[in-house]
Amino acid sequence: MADALLEIHDCCQSFPRADGGEHLVLDHIDFQLAQGEIVGLLGRTGSGKSTLLRLIAGLARPTAGTITYLGHPIDEPPPGVSMVFQSFALFPWLTVLENVQLGLEALGLPEVEIRRRALAAIDLIGLDGYESAFPRELSGGMRQRVGFARALVVHPNILLMDEPFSALDVLTAETLRTDFLDLWGEGKLPIKGVILVTHNIEEAVLMCDRILLFSTNPARIIDDIKVDLRQPRNRLDPQFRDLVEKIYVAMTARKPAPLQVGATATINTVLPRVSANLLSGLLETVAGQPYNGKADLPVLGDELHMEVDDLFPVAESLQLLHLAEIEGGDIKLTDAGKQFAEAGMDDRKKLFQRQLLAYVPLAAHLRRVLQERANHVAPKSRFLDELEDHMTTEDAEHTLRAVTAWGRFAELYAYDDDSQTFSLENPT
């Protein structure tokens, strides 16, 4: 049994919070990367998987725990680990060839060798003919190929990929994926192991040998799924679809307590920023044909071309407002939700106001404070400070903005961004 390429043991990462406390981002992560494996880190945005990748790349140090690469602990970017970035990270003032040569120049190899290896990598990845082009002249797919060539030309042992295909359109992404898998399968890539970070469930099932599922806030590994399907994998294969469904269920089922079926939000729940348009749209879609009030989430996501990151916040918001329920990978409208879907604009607002006051304590709190004050005006900072006691500054900002948008739709209160105050009068 070959030695593990990478070992992560009991790793934790936290960042200091504004109020002096610590915000836990990664919670006791344990995993190993063996030779010849593609491991996927799958989770929603903000689930700490990118943080973990940066720890592996040596760009940051963990607060606790150890990460060893080939037996040695990582305290600076280790030689033999390369990274491909979501937005390509190419240097705009260097040509394709110069971009690819960058890593080799840093290694201090002789010029002849640098040029030979760079041209070989460019040829391998399919960029022949583009050597003297500048990144601004290339399409997204071409730019990412340059990113791959640059990462591979230094002959790394481990290739890290941070959502490499999410900035590309569907067709280009698919081409790049299959090209990569072909090269990997034929053994033409000089790498020994791959870690892929993604929020696209189908991509993970398509490419990975093992998938680690991450929960959000803080990130924990909630499941380690082995994918035994043979390459090339077919999206329409029943086993493929089963696996995708299984992952959807796993991701919706194991949520932190407040958002489980039947649970309600507290004043300090972090709210997702979902516009009223999206909420209305999803309700109408699920209420209509062919779902008639109950839909399978993977199927819904497929039809609406929405990935986990887009669909889950909307579904969770609906659950929060008791307009729908999420159960075992399905979304089911409540009576209130069905009413909403069929009502006109005025009735919708009234219904929304009722649900907001009943189930989102922060909105009720805001309104109460405004009513109690003499002139019915309160500054934003007052509520922001309250929220910052229980969550990070960023989360507090997002939550307040979310509840402002919902409150405006429900005509519960008004907000003036110039003076940064809430009030009951609209417009002031």
| Contact footprint for other proteins (CB under 8 A) | 54, 57-59, 61, 75-77, 79, 81-83, 85-89, 91-94, 102-103, 105-108, 134, 136, 150, 154, 418
Q: What is the identity of the amino acid at 24?
A: L
d(CA 120, CA 114): 10
The nearest distance, CB 268 to other proteins, in angstroms, is 29
Please answer whether residues 356 and 322 qualify as being in contact, where contact means their C-beta atoms are separated by less than 8 angstroms. no
| Of residues 153 and 213, the one with the C-beta less far from other proteins | 153
Spell out the alpha helix ranges (H) of 195-253: 201-207, 238-253
Q: Which is nearer to other proteins, 15 or 91 (CB)?
A: 91
In whole angstroms, how close is the CB of 103 to other proteins at the nearest point? Answer: 4
* Polymer length in residues for the chain: 428
Contacts of 74 (CB under 8 A, 6+ apart): 55, 56, 58, 67, 68
Our CB check for other proteins shows the closer of 419 and 426 to be 419
Is the CB of 64 or the CB of 106 nearer to other proteins? 106
Report the C-alpha gap between 379 and 416 in whole angstroms.
10
Peptide bond just before 427 cis, omega within 30 deg:
yes
DSSP label at residue 228: -
| Smallest distance, other proteins to C-beta of residue 360, A | 29
Q: Which of 221, 272, 276, 253 is nearest to 32 (CA)?
A: 221
Task: Select 147 or 298, whichever has its Cβ closest to other proteins.
Answer: 147
Q: What is the smallest separation between the CB atom of 93 and other proteins, expressed in angstroms?
A: 5
Q: Hey, what amino acid is at 43?
A: G
Residues forming beta bridges with residue 38, ordered by sequence position: 194
Contacts of 225 (CB under 8 A, 6+ apart): 210, 211, 212, 213, 243, 246, 247
Looking at beta carbons only, is 106 or 261 nearer to other proteins? 106
CA distance 13 to 11: 7
Cis preceding-peptide flag for 218 (omega within 30 of 0): yes
71 neighbors 9 (Cβ within 8 angstroms): no
**For other proteins, the closer CB: 66 or 234:** 66
Residue 385 CB, nearest approach to other proteins (Å)? 21
CB nearer to other proteins: pick between 50 and 319: 50
* CB nearer to other proteins: pick between 44 and 150: 150
Work out how close the CB of 102 gets to other proteins at its nearest, in angstroms, rounded to a whole number: 6
User: Closest distance between other proteins and the C-beta of residue 83, in Å?
Assistant: 5
| Sheet of strand 22-33: strand arrangement | 22-33, 6-16, 64-69, 72-73
In angstroms, what is the minimal distance from the CB of 404 to other proteins?
18
The residue (of 86 and 275) whose beta carbon lies closer to other proteins is: 86
CB of 415 to other proteins, least distance (A): 16
Question: From the CB of 234, what's the least distance to other proteins, in Å?
Answer: 34
Can you tell me the distance from the alpha carbon of 69 to that of 32, in angstroms, rounded to the nearest whole number? 10
